[in-house]
Amino acid sequence: MQKLMEGKVIIVTGAGSVGEGWGNGKAAAALYAREGGKILAVDRSIDAARQTQEIIRSEGGVCEVIAADVSKTADVKAIADAAMDHFGRVDVLHNNVGIAETGGPVETTEESWNRLVAVNQTSLFLTHKYVLPIMEKQKKGAIVNISSLAALRWIGFPYLGYTTTKAAILAFTKNVAMQYAPLGIRANCILPGLMDTPMIREPLKASYGGDIEEMRAKRHAQCPMGFMGDAWDVAHASLFLASDNARYITGLDLIVDGGLSLKVA
């Protein structure tokens, strides 16, 4: 049986992990590779990208790496150039980079606001700006953008910069989906709910009293299914949307939250 991503070239931004375990980007890169994809693993930390590369190569997959700050134009252009130099095409763009900082409009500093906009929002604009022309020439491509359920729902404490920038991803993706549908390019969003990944543990533990295990227990209890999702739940949803099995799906907001968004409170 042919693998879902056989021969496809996939750029994964945020393909490393900020701590031990599996982050969303790391799991997505590994799963794409297991399904036959050729990966360009992008991360600000070259060591984190190389850890992902080592896992993929140890399983017989193909993975090249590049260190880049996706909020900077020159770095993003270098990503697109690297994909073409290594593989000669780009079939899938998977935008996973994101940071989380808490605070409302008064508590959030201007520096924090600008940082969140740059990393969570401007990065998306730049990756599309430099990858879409490649896909347009190919007359085919798929884009998966990782947003958050926090773009739609209050999650229990002020989270203004994060929720605002993640909400912007939804509108951005729909604009791209409509403009590029006639050109054979699809764009979809995934909205993870409460997930148990390295990225959320340190930034959010203070909002749950400072104890990570207590935080995990509280977040598990909030979920209708009784447990948080993990990076693999996001990765499998991403694999579907990136694959030709989703060839007639574009502009979708796919919620991956174990039913959390169905709750009244």
Catalytic residue among 32, 162, 180, 208: 162
Do 229 and 258 touch, CB atoms closer than 8 A?
Answer: yes
Token pair in block for residue 184: 């054979």
Do 188 and 254 touch, CB atoms closer than 8 A?
Answer: yes
For the chain, what is the radius of gyration of the CA atoms? 18
Q: Does the active-site annotation cover 162? A: yes
Listing from the earlier edge strand, what are the strands of the sheet with 62-67? Answer: 62-67, 38-43, 9-13, 92-95, 141-146, 185-192, 253-256
Rounded CA-CA distance 195/220 in Å is 9
Do 157 and 101 touch, CB atoms closer than 8 A?
Answer: no
- Which are the catalytic amino acids? 162
